Amino acid sequence: MIPTTADPVPPSPLPGAADWRAVLSWTAALALPAAAGLAAFLVGRPASAPLAAILLVLAVAVVAWVGGRWPGHLSAVVAGVAYDLGWTEPYDRFVIAAPEDVLATFLLVGVGIGVTWLISTVRLPDIPR
């Protein structure tokens, strides 16, 4: 099939390729922030909190580049949860004791959503939004 102007994205030569890309995108949205958090956790906490934030935002950027806006947004939220569990006291709980840690966690999610929006805007025709 020859793509025309009515076909914004040419069809994939492989049957079901779009389905696999969607599955890969949503799986990466859950797995990449967790893997980035684990990598930063191996360095040791709390000294690795800045490294964790950078790696988590980088994971969100990769998911946004591969998967698009909605997997990127999910990845930003998962990154915020990973940061909360690993780098805010009390550790390994969904409770944040210090107000500056609440701010840091919400800023991490906000930056992740902003990076996702920026990347999905730059990659206009490549991926569904």
Per-residue pLDDT tens over the stretch 27-70: 999 999 989 888 888 877 766 788 889 999 999 999 999 888 99
Q: How far, in Å, are 9, 27, 55, 109, 127 from residue 2 at the CA level?
A: 11, 32, 42, 42, 20
| Predicted local confidence at residue 44, as pLDDT | 76
pLDDT of residue 7: 44
Residue 23 lies in a domain: no
Res. 94: pLDDT tops 50: yes
d(CA 82, CA 71): 16
| Contact (CB, 8 A) for 77 and 129 | no
CA distances from 127 to 31, 60, 63 (A): 20, 16, 12
Residue 47 forms part of a structural domain: yes
Q: What pTM value is reported for the model? A: 0.78
- Residue 84 covered by a domain: yes
Q: What is the extent of the structural domain holding 106? A: 36-122
* Region 70-84 average pLDDT: 94
Q: Is residue 6 part of a domain?
A: no
Which phi-psi region, left, alpha or beta, contains residue 44 (left: φ > 0; alpha: ψ -120 to 50)?
Answer: left
Residue 25 lies in a domain: no
In a domain? residue 73: yes
Q: Mind listing the pLDDT tens digit for each residue in 1-22? A: 555 554 455 555 555 556 787 8
| CB contact at 8 A, 25 and 66 | yes
8 in a structural domain: no
Q: How many domains does the chain have?
A: 1
Q: Is residue 74 part of a domain?
A: yes
Q: How many CB atoms lie within 10 A of CB 1?
A: 6
